[in-house]
Amino acid sequence: MNKNNLLPILFWGLLASTNSFAQNNNPRKAYDDFKKQTQQKYNDFRTQANEEYAAFLKRAWEQYYVLPAIPKPKDETVPPITIPEKDKNKPIESNPIPIKDVVAPPKPNPQPTPIAPIKEDSQPQERTVEFIYCGTKYQVRLNKDLNLSLQDCSNEQLSNVWTQLSAEGVLNNTIRDCLAIRVGKNLCDWAYLNLLSSFSKAMYGNSNEATMLTSYIYAQSGYKMRLGRNEQHIYLLYASEHGIYDISYFNIDGLKFYPFECDKNKLEICDASFPKEKPLSLYISQNQKFEYNASDVRTLTSRRYPNVQVQVQVNKNLIEFYNTYPSSEVNANFMTRWAMYANTPLDAKVKEELYPALKEKINGLSQLEAANKLLNWVQTAFVYEYDDKVWGHDRAFFAEETLYYPYCDCEDRSILFSRLVRDLLGLKTILVYYPGHLASAVCFTDKVAGDYIMLDDKRFIITDPTYIGAPVGNTMPDMDNTQASVILLE
């Protein structure tokens, strides 16, 4: 499908409508006519796109073989170190630290949108479908007359079902409701795809019909997807902005398409595209508003500052979502994954309960004193353990996961600490990667001594949440600064 053939038609149609509007003597009537004509142009544009897609489904599909997954980075492991008692109160000197490079992950793009506005339809024959995703109940309207049935996976059957789904007004309200949920619940792209799958399975179970329904709504919402099949099953393939670890993919026109709930080595794929389609992003720029399901209370106490003792709970529904979240990298740079975790906002409910308690402990302190208390809390209130031992592979944590799980490692601590400093102290932070180790650094506006990195004439002081007991300004021993990289954070 070539969108370049469709856009000139839409443009010249809108231009003609504008000229008519200017020439009409009745401004209100002219505006109403213009609005109707514009809406019709949009409707025609979307209708034509779906007709062309259904036609493509009737044509020959091409066989593709899966390509090897991007392996999760396997790094050497630097064990935590406890600073000797005699060194804890030593005067701290200011020493510049050279760095190898600076990693600046790109900012997230706006989420995809439909190729044309989807109007609300008046449908007396409508039902409400209730379903649950990540412990949260949702309701979506659906046409009562919609009854999908795939006898097989032939071109004719698939084309007929797509035509049925795209019939005028049949799924408009359904798509609008799904998009309204995405906006109202701040769902990221990964959550939205899984929401659609949960809705479709509530209707048709784990079936080809459910896959077709998910694929149709996903495509109409503006996402880049392809349909794949073998002899018996249909599969949704989603394009991603990011390189996803440990999931094999199909290369279609130079883009990585990942199979959703599919582990087949080869598929026949229809490579038809939609106008304006965009790949999925794995950035999480807003709180995911899942229904709150409180975890058990956990008490976390700083060893050096016992008064910094807080009780925390997190949303187990959010933890469930994070368990499905695929780890990935941007622009083939494995260090970008840590920025994605560190830039994810802390859950609003956790902030509501945790932050007042921490603020009380650092109220009235200087930036250095407050940072040292937060740093020691992260260093000593959590139990260190290697990912390989706990999970069997490397796994970075979102901040809430570090608060939830009994064990964490250097990357998890640095992600949590950088989040706390930005939110509670309002100071810029960066992550500092040494081979086998992740630390952080803070840009104090007060004068603070310690090992530092210069970036854009700003001094970032090393703060290492895994150098146990070490105050602000201390680099863990034996770190190779000639191999150190800075990862910028929002």
Per-residue pLDDT of the chain (490 residues; tens, 9 = 90+): 543 443 333 333 333 333 433 444 565 555 455 445 555 555 688 899 999 999 999 998 999 999 999 998 887 788 999 999 888 888 999 999 999 999 998 889 999 999 988 989 886 689 999 999 999 999 999 999 899 999 999 999 999 999 999 998 899 999 999 999 999 999 999 999 999 999 999 999 999 999 999 999 999 999 999 999 998 999 999 999 999 999 999 999 999 999 999 999 999 999 999 999 999 999 999 999 999 999 999 999 999 999 999 999 999 999 999 999 999 999 999 999 999 999 999 999 999 999 999 999 999 999 999 999 999 999 999 999 988 889 888 899 999 999 999 999 999 999 999 999 999 999 999 999 999 999 999 999 999 999 999 999 999 999 999 999 999 999 999 998 888 999 999 9
Give 143-153 pLDDT, tens digit per residue: 998 999 999 99
Do 167 and 155 have their domain in common?
A: yes
Using the CB atoms, write b or e for 328-362: b if 16+ within 10 Å. bbbeebbbbbbbbbbbbbbbebbbebbeeebeebb
Do 377 and 234 have their domain in common?
A: no
Domain count, the chain: 2
Residue 84 domain-assigned (yes or no) = no
Q: What is the DSSP string of 39-58?
A: HHHHHHHHHHHHHHHHHHHT
Do 217 and 265 have their domain in common?
A: yes
Give 201-251 pLDDT, tens digit per residue: 999 999 999 999 999 999 999 999 999 999 899 999 999 999 999 999 999
User: Residues 6 or more apart from 189 whose CB is under 8 A from it?
Assistant: 111, 112, 223, 280, 281, 282
Do 250 and 375 have their domain in common?
A: no
Q: What is the CATH number of the domain that holds 397?
A: 3.10.620
Residue 263 domain-assigned (yes or no) = yes
Separation CA 1–CA 377 (nearest Å): 57
User: 277 with 262: CB under 8 angstroms?
Assistant: no
Do 213 and 325 have their domain in common?
A: no
Domain that holds residue 258: 3-66+110-270
Q: Considering the entire predicted model, what is its pTM?
A: 0.90
Separation CA 136–CA 206 (nearest Å): 20
What is the distance, to the nearest Å, from the Cα of residue 343 to the centroid of all Cα atoms in its chain?
Answer: 11
Residue 330 domain-assigned (yes or no) = yes
